[in-house]
């Protein structure tokens, strides 16, 4: 792959600094964050090579048998395949993990996030197989599983595992509407499978049902379109990757694109053209800046819309890039304790570099392109 990123000295310097500092700390992580960030550098970059070696060595001690994309086997697979794009010998390590993921299904009491979602469940497992490129044959069993879960549409994703949970009891009996843990994450995974040509009528039917359901949940008020966090709760004003307008609108866009449904893509376009007052609040740099809740995630979504050709989104990309540049000291601070993709500095810098022109092969890990 020819590296064609527009060079940004600020992002370049900070990226090299945080990757070298992380490698020197010897802080192993099963999360693909450091590898994702390294993949935005030229393949012959010494810092990228150092980060790759450090992550691979650490994987021996941090490998997790759970299937999830973030902290589990699917994340290991994604990291290995991103590295294998330039080091093909690593495919021999990735292949058995892909086989294990075909055989692994979550088992627990009730039905919860690990049974379906993007972060810890089958939707993320499917998306891990799309980075840096998708093979329809590999996606097919994972798409079939998601389609089976959604045979009754979104109703099949209603949570029943959290009645006595100390933090998630609010989700009991509800259907989540966030990209990270809800219907939108399953929709983007199914859309990826349909777009890749898996040729499964059940996957198409499930995706169509989820798209219609998401459209029905939209709230239209004072010229703005919003979505609630889960059934029966008021719409949230905060915009983020994990929940709120950006992630849901992208899921609708991907669904409409995969199905050739202009009504869904029009709704998605209208949602992101609504008043774009971003509020990045929180007690930590991770809350305010990282992919999951903060500016980097919204940047990644709007950049995906811009690359997809949606008019009017480029201005938000430039504004969000400037925001992250102004807070580079906080990004460096975050890197000292967190180099993960969703909540750490690796994701912040990867999103910023990718919006500046770096390779996009890792974006399926966020459900994006």
Q: Tell me what the pLDDT averaged over the chain comes to.
A: 92
The average pLDDT across 310-333 equals: 95
| Vertex 5 angle, CA 252 and 33, to 5° | 65
Residue 60: Cβ within 10 Å count: 8
Q: What is the pLDDT of residue 235?
A: 53
Q: What are the extents of the domains in the chain? A: 12-104
pLDDT at 176 over 60: yes
| Vertex 286 angle, CA 281 and 291, to 5° | 95
| 45-56 b/e (C-beta count within 10 Å ≥ 16 → b) | bebbbbbbebbb
| 293 annotated ligand-binding residue | yes
Cα separations in angstroms, 84 against 51, 129, 143, 339? 14, 13, 24, 21
222 vs 169, residue with greater confidence: 169
Q: How confident is the model at residue 14 (pLDDT cuts 50, 70, 90)?
A: very high
pLDDT tens, position by position, 195-245: 999 989 999 999 999 999 999 999 988 788 988 655 555 555 568 999 999
As a dihedral over the C-alpha atoms of residue 47, residue 52, residue 192, residue 149, rounded to 10 degrees, the angle is -140
27 vs 2, residue with greater confidence: 27
Burial class (CB in 10 A: 0-12, 13-18, 19+), 76: buried
The average pLDDT across 179-206 equals: 97
Q: What is the pLDDT of residue 270?
A: 95
| 292 annotated ligand-binding residue | yes
Q: What is the pLDDT of residue 3?
A: 39
pLDDT tens, position by position, 61-107: 887 789 999 989 999 999 999 999 999 999 999 999 999 999 887 66
Residue whose entry in the numeric block shows the structure tokens 């794009």: 85
Instruction: Tell if the pTM clears 0.75, that is, is over it.
Output: yes
Q: What is the pLDDT of residue 236?
A: 58
pLDDT at 6 over 90: no
Q: How confident is the model at residue 27 (pLDDT cuts 50, 70, 90)?
A: confident
| 279 annotated ligand-binding residue | no
Q: What is the pLDDT of residue 7?
A: 62
């Amino acid at each position: 792959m020819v590296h064609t990123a527009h060079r940004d000295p600020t992002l370049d310097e900070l990226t090299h600094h945080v990757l070298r500092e992380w490698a020197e700390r010897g802080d192993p992580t099963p999360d693909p964050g450091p590898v994702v960030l390294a993949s935005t550098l030229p393949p012959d970059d010494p810092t990228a090579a150092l980060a790759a070696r450090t992550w691979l060595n650490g994987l021996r001690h941090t490998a997790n048998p759970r299937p999830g994309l973030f902290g589990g086997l699917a994340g290991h697979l994604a990291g290995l395949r991103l590295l294998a794009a330039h080091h093909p010998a690593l495919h021999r390590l990735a292949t058995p993990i892909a086989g294990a993921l075909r055989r692994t299904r979550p088992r627990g009491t009730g039905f919860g996030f690990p049974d379906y979602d993007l972060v810890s469940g089958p939707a993320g497992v499917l998306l891990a197989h799309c980075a840096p490129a998708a093979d329809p044959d590999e996606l097919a069993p994972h798409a079939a599983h998601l389609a089976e879960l959604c045979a009754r549409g979104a109703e099949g994703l209603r949570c029943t595992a959290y009645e006595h949970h100390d933090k998630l009891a609010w989700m009991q009996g509800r259907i989540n509407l966030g990209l990270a843990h809800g219907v939108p994450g399953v929709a983007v995974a199914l859309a990826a499978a349909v777009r890749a040509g898996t040729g499964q009528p059940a996957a198409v039917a499930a995706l169509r049902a989820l798209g219609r359901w998401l459209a029905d949940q939209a709230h239209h008020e004072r010229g703005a379109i919003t979505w609630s966090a889960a059934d029966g709760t008021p719409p949230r004003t905060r915009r983020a990757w994990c929940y709120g307008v950006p992630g849901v609108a992208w899921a609708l866009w991907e669904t409409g694109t995969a199905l050739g449904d202009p009504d869904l893509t029009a709704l998605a376009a209208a949602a992101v053209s609504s008043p774009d007052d971003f509020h990045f609040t929180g007690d930590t740099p991770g809350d305010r800046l990282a992919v999951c809740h903060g500016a980097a995630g919204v940047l990644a979504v709007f950049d995906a819309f811009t690359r997809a050709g949606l008019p009017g989104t480029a201005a938000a990309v430039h504004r969000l890039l400037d925001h992250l540049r102004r807070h580079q000291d906080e990004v460096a601070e975050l890197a000292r304790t967190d180099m993960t993709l969703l909540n750490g500095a690796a994701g912040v810098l990867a999103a910023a570099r990718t919006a500046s022109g770096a390779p996009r092969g890792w974006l399926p890990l966020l459900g994006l392109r």
